[in-house]
Amino acid sequence: QGLWCMSRRAVLARSLAVLTLPQGLLPRARAAEFTTTAGGARRSSGDGDPHRLAVPELAPGSRRLYLCRHGETDWNVAGRVQGMTDIPLNPNGRSQAAALAAILADVPIGLVASSALGRASSTADAVAALHPGARRLVDASFNEMNFGSLEGEELRGGSPRREEYEARLAEWEAGRTSVRLPGGGESPEEVAARALKGLRELGALPPFAAAAGGAGVPSCPRHVCLVAHGRFNKILLAALRGDVSRASQVAQGNTAVNIVDIDEGGACTVVAVNLLDHLRAAAQPP
């Protein structure tokens, strides 16, 4: 069951256990030290606005990545695999996107990036609307994993396709992350490669100066929001800590916020994983 259906405290505790395993190497960077900080991220309390995010101060020279998932779609509700199929947000998904935008409103985001798929792009647009000074970028490098012939399938209950998918998950968790999904789908390694390449091209991964260089190319701001997808986010988080086989152990609800600090040497610190407090805050009466 991974990290689903757990309390937030349990999620953070389990995340810490998962993300402090021995690390591999990031391409062009040293091993990522992927741990959850003691302070973490939370909603403000007491005299603070419960609809605003409270996070530790970013260390000098580091970048902070706010990796988010898109809002809900009708296919999410039905349990159908979306992958590269371009399904729009439903009304609840649009409300979730607004709640995500609200909790990130006070964050000094300088760049809002997203996948090219509408559900992620629309969610990112809601965030960007509250950051008029931020650059807005759409990049297919951040699209969801291609699920091949599984796209459109319902994988609940005793579906034969569910058994097929679970067999693939078992292979990946056993370390065979180059195995692709059936019918022309991608492997976790392929998704990780394009995700890291996309981040590096943004300048969000070191070497920061080199990645952001080039005449007429603006440098990467220190605070970057990337809105993408459930499986994509799981793979990217696992790739940053050097072990793609652990991707399924990370939960990602709709509009989940994951916060990762990346220093100049390539070491990563997880500030939050699968943070969904903004949805609870949005449900509370004013």
Task: Judge whether 145 and 117 are in contact, CB under 8 Å.
Answer: no
Catalytic annotation, residues: 70, 144
- Residue 20's SS3 state is coil
Centre a 10 Å sphere on the Cβ of residue 176 and count the other Cβ atoms it contains: 14
CA distance 241 to 53: 24
DSSP track, 152-172:
T-B-STT-HHHHHHHHHHHHH
CA distance 258 to 188: 19
Task: Judge whether 105 and 126 are in contact, CB under 8 Å.
Answer: no
Rg from Cα positions in the chain: 18
State how beta strands 111-114 and 135-138 pair. Answer: parallel
- Residue 109's SS3 state is coil
